[in-house]
A and B are shown apart, each in its own frame.
Chain A
Amino acid sequence: MTDRQPSIVFRLDPRSGIAPYRQLVDQVRNAVEMGRLRGGDQLPSVREVVTQVTINPNTVHRAYRELENLGLAEGRLGLGTFITENPDVHATEAGNVELTRQLQIWVKRARAAGIVDDDMLELLRRILNHDERVLS
């Protein structure tokens, strides 16, 4: 083990109800989107992660596999897992800009109609659950 600082320090909230592997994926994606992680940065090894947070090593493997599937990271044989060069956040960002704009318009209309924030969240949750039902 080297004394070099890890590129990212994970956190885990066991009470969030969000699966631990999903929490790791989200934290990496967020760090890439915010520019804290860049192409070529090495993610901490599974051994390093289990000394950072109390987590099952298989869960870390699973999160890294998911990041590879998302095109955000790549495994290099015998070296570790790295953020891909030019990770594809711009493509998603461009898509996000339009979606964000539409959502802002929607929120404005919902407020005008007297819907409070909690109700909006509940509505979104319901729609998400409904979608999942359609897909599964």
Chain B
Amino acid sequence: MTMPVIETNSLTKRFGRKWGLRDCSLSIPAGKVAALVGPNGAGKSTLLRMATGLSRPTSGEIYVLGEEPIGNSASFLSRIGYLDQERPLYRGFRVDEMFRFGEGTNPTWNMTTAHAYVDQLGISLRDRVNNLSGGQQAQVALTMCLAKQPELLILDEPAAALDPVAREDLLRLLMREVAERGTSVVLSTHALGDVGSICDYLVIMSHSTIVLADDLEFVVESHRFLGAPSPNVPELPEGVTVIDTRTSSRDVTYLVRMTLPLSDETWEITQPTLDEVIMAYLRLARDSASTSSRHETPSTRGEHS
């Protein structure tokens, strides 16, 4: 396997007395569309900004495509495309002027790609950025990223605040790029529906730490609901970690992560959906915050094999 696109070791960022990121170790393989999911303030943007070199770690290490982003050589910057919600467009420019600006500032710019993408989206090169809809502005901004022909795209909530059709167009543009050029993508999102359809790697963050990072197909495979009538709930099987608990007057249901195959006859076992697994982790994060700020959230590195 090739080098991971983003690799961090005990990566930490402090903003004064507040944690931005706390001891994060992560390795996102190449060729993936990785989703970063977590509540606001979990550290997603902090991580992405450090990956682009816009922000410097307080301690720990980060390597992006094998390089340290800080130091920021032109050759490193030409290998990544970064987009956040502040779309870096000059409002008074026409689309073709934006593209000529991109061509002048990026050695790997491909004008044919840029023209083909906006043409397909029904945007004219003569259109002024000011006169485009929010969705079209997002598409032009993404096209600017893609025309650089980067190896890695880092997108901070690329489709937030877009209407459903515009977001669909934007995500298809992204998937087409992945299909044609094999570009790796790391994106943050709140839209869980997008995670299942466009992503194949999942990172869940909360309270400045990483609580789960795995191939999407293993995420569902490694979690189960275990149900049993209460009281007299049987002992939990070996090798499971409880992520979420739901109790009624009659029974208890745990969402667990398993490290061993379950062969337990006393529990009723059902497979959760991806959304249910993600929501359980997000709830866990919220609950552990309200009970204790130092509560340990489980870490999953290397637990499946």
B179 at the interface (CB under 8 A from A): yes
Which of A50, A58, A129, A136 is in CB contact (< 8 Å) with B270?
A: A129
B161 to chain A, nearest CB (A): 18
List residues of B whose CB falls within 8 A of some A CB.
31-33, 168, 171-172, 175-176, 178-180, 193-194, 196-200, 217, 220, 261-264, 268-271, 273-275
Docked-complex contact A136 and B261, CB < 8 angstroms: yes
Q: In this complex, what residue of A is CB-closest to B169?
A: A54
Chain A residues positioned under 8 Å from B274 (CB to CB): 17, 19
A22 to chain B, nearest CB (A): 11
Docked-complex contact A47 and B197, CB < 8 angstroms: no
* Interface size range on A against B: 20 to 34
A24 to chain B, nearest CB (A): 11
Docked-complex contact A57 and B175, CB < 8 angstroms: yes
Q: In this complex, what residue of B is CB-closest to A23?
A: B197
Docked-complex contact A17 and B176, CB < 8 angstroms: no
Chain B residues positioned under 8 Å from A126 (CB to CB): 268
Q: In this complex, what residue of A is CB-closest to B185?
A: A56
Docked-complex contact A47 and B179, CB < 8 angstroms: yes
Which of A20, A57, A129, A132 is in CB contact (< 8 Å) with B196?
A: A20
A15 at the interface (CB under 8 A from B): yes
Which of B172, B198, B199 is in CB contact (< 8 Å) with A51?
A: B172
Which of A56, A129, A133 is in CB contact (< 8 Å) with B198?
A: A56
CA distance A64 to B287 in the complex (A): 41
A45-70 interface (Cβ within 8 A of B): 46-47, 50-51, 53-59
Q: In this complex, what residue of B is CB-closest to A136?
A: B261
Docked-complex contact B196 and A47, CB < 8 angstroms: no
Show 10 A/B contacts (Cβ-Cβ < 8 Å), sorted by A. Answer: A47-B180, A50-B176, A54-B172, A54-B175, A54-B194, A54-B198, A58-B33, A59-B197, A132-B269, A136-B263
Docked-complex contact A55 and B176, CB < 8 angstroms: no
Chain B residues positioned under 8 Å from A58 (CB to CB): 31-33, 200
Q: 0/1 per residue, A16-57, Cβ < 8 Å to B?
A: 010110000000000000000000000000110011011111
